[in-house]
Chain A
């Protein structure tokens, strides 16, 4: 695997550990305000400085990892399971079912540009972590469904699937024991790229005030709060910004690295 993929894994593990052990890693109480300590630059006491309410930025970035990864992992798992299910139905049954699903349903969900469907959903449903996850799953599952459909269409024609069918294996058995294991690799690639997308989307929606409401330390919300004071205290925006960039970068590295590793045609280049 490429060096970049290893770097990606290292960064991802670092953030996951920080998220799991956040209460031990954080140096201060995330919610504790100290109005006498507003906009302090980084120091030995406050490693990343303090924000507009005198809260410790380092601790908030650490707890922000928790929110980001929690949302990211939930979104990836739910959309992967749902997308895989729909995609395998489309690929396995073919015919009218496939025409309806891949020709029509997939196209409808891809017809909303980027984040717009999530923004619209949250606008009508209201803000909150559960609703944010719902919205991101609604836009996320199509990617998995398309990958899965393509894989099933390919694997379906292989001889060993024919053999299994000849032996009298049921559709469900063929799907679970023969087709799914062969389609899992591209799904993992899609999942790591989807993780990067979900983290970025959560931050974007929170930045727009449509994600996780304050005072929860979401990286997007922190950046939105810090924006006006960038000229005088850039550190409040910089550290959550770097955290988002590193997380997104890490999962993109992992996704790209895995894709190259799993696809020998790309490895040669």
Chain B
């Protein structure tokens, strides 16, 4: 019991350490912007006064870190009055800074869009599971049959076709030709279907392959032979015994793939003009060079992923006692 508690504490400490590093990296990334962000944003025609005002307002006139190292001055200790410390102080109060462009708090801009990205990612995951579970079980339990070959072909297609090819194709087929959905936007509840299928396609392919090989592996285990020898029906063997064990590795993949989904959502949101975090990052952040907003978006997406991943790890340990012991 004590050992388990220590283990969880260690996991938690590692998670916090990783989050600290990720935040630090993102905070300092603004330093690699070629040239002066103020000039980039205000343009070549800005007066010296405008630039200075802008720099003062966003703290760009102050040192970036606790110390700095330059060619002229050498090593300089800047003390605690620096932007890095400021960013952290703000973060601890739930403040992600002020947008360079709109002067709105970045936190508000992000959390307006956050729910729709999470909704899209969860919908994509449900689509992927909905396709992969029946297909993978069918393919695995009927190895080398026509169903199996078809499933493998489908999986290969899903893995190799990029989202930005699948997306326009789905729009053409279901929105332009059949007229079932609107091609872009997120006005009606059913508008989520096409983006979710587009985003979930690759994941469904990966899952199908995993579930298939998992089912094949478990079907060869001794307990399956025992169950069959006892006269348990094949359906019961498959759903009560094989799936229960075979789905454990799938859970980890789901956690790890959430990151791919969150990054993939950026592309999907662009295709469907889905008003989520990805589009905010692309259009308002990167497109308008609002570096503060870019920092906030990258941070929120990464931290979401880290937390989701740690949770999956936790669930995985609960499901499989063998891992807990080792």
Is B196 part of the binding interface, using a Cβ–Cβ cutoff of 8 Å? no
Interface of B is mostly: helix
Is A47 part of the binding interface, using a Cβ–Cβ cutoff of 8 Å? no
On whether A120 and B168 interact (CB within 8 A), knowing A207-B267, A208-B267, A252-B159, the answer reads no
Is B241 part of the binding interface, using a Cβ–Cβ cutoff of 8 Å? no
A16 smallest CB distance to B (angstroms): 18
On whether A114 and B264 interact (CB within 8 A), knowing A210-B286, A245-B162, the answer reads yes
Interfacial chain A residues near B14, Cβ < 8 Å: 103-104, 107
B172 touches A204 (CB 8 A): no
The total of chain A residues at the interface (CB under 8 A) is 40
B 137-167 binary contact with A (CB < 8 Å = 1; else 0)? 0000000000000000000110111111100
Interface of A is mostly: helix
Q: Out of B160, B168, B263, name the residue touching A227 (CB < 8 Å).
A: B168
Interfacial chain B residues near A244, Cβ < 8 Å: 162, 165
On whether A112 and B162 interact (CB within 8 A), knowing A125-B32, A210-B286, the answer reads no
A108 touches B21 (CB 8 A): yes
B 69-81 binary contact with A (CB < 8 Å = 1; else 0)? 0000000000000
Interfacial chain A residues near B246, Cβ < 8 Å: none
Q: Give chain B interface residues in 258-284, CB to chain A under 8 Å.
A: 258-260, 262-264, 266-267, 270-271, 281-282
Interfacial chain A residues near B164, Cβ < 8 Å: 203-204, 207, 220, 223-224, 227
A 9-32 binary contact with B (CB < 8 Å = 1; else 0)? 000000000000000000000000
The total of chain B residues at the interface (CB under 8 A) is 51
On whether A227 and B271 interact (CB within 8 A), knowing A113-B259, A116-B298, the answer reads yes
Count chain B CB atoms within 10 A of each CB in A103, A104, A204 and give the residue with the most. Answer: A204
A111 touches B291 (CB 8 A): no
A208 touches B161 (CB 8 A): no
Is A3 part of the binding interface, using a Cβ–Cβ cutoff of 8 Å? no
B165 touches A223 (CB 8 A): yes
On whether A112 and B172 interact (CB within 8 A), knowing A107-B14, A204-B164, A245-B161, the answer reads no
Is A37 part of the binding interface, using a Cβ–Cβ cutoff of 8 Å? no
Interfacial chain B residues near A220, Cβ < 8 Å: 164
On whether A120 and B18 interact (CB within 8 A), knowing A203-B162, A204-B164, the answer reads no
Residues of B participating in the A interface, judged by any CB pair closer than 8 Å = 14, 17-19, 21-22, 25-26, 29-30, 32-34, 156-157, 159-165, 168-169, 171-172, 176, 213, 216, 258-260, 262-264, 266-267, 270-271, 281-282, 285-286, 291, 294, 298, 301-302, 305-306, 309
Instruction: Show 30 residue pairs from A and B whose CB-CB distance is below 8 angstroms, ordered by the A residue.
Output: A104-B18, A104-B21, A107-B18, A108-B18, A111-B21, A111-B305, A113-B262, A114-B263, A115-B263, A115-B264, A116-B263, A119-B263, A123-B286, A123-B294, A124-B32, A124-B33, A124-B294, A125-B32, A200-B162, A204-B163, A207-B267, A223-B164, A227-B168, A230-B169, A241-B165, A244-B162, A245-B157, A245-B165, A248-B159, A269-B213
Which 6 A-B residue pairings sit nearest by Cβ, starting from the closest? A113-B259, A114-B263, A241-B165, A249-B160, A113-B305, A115-B263
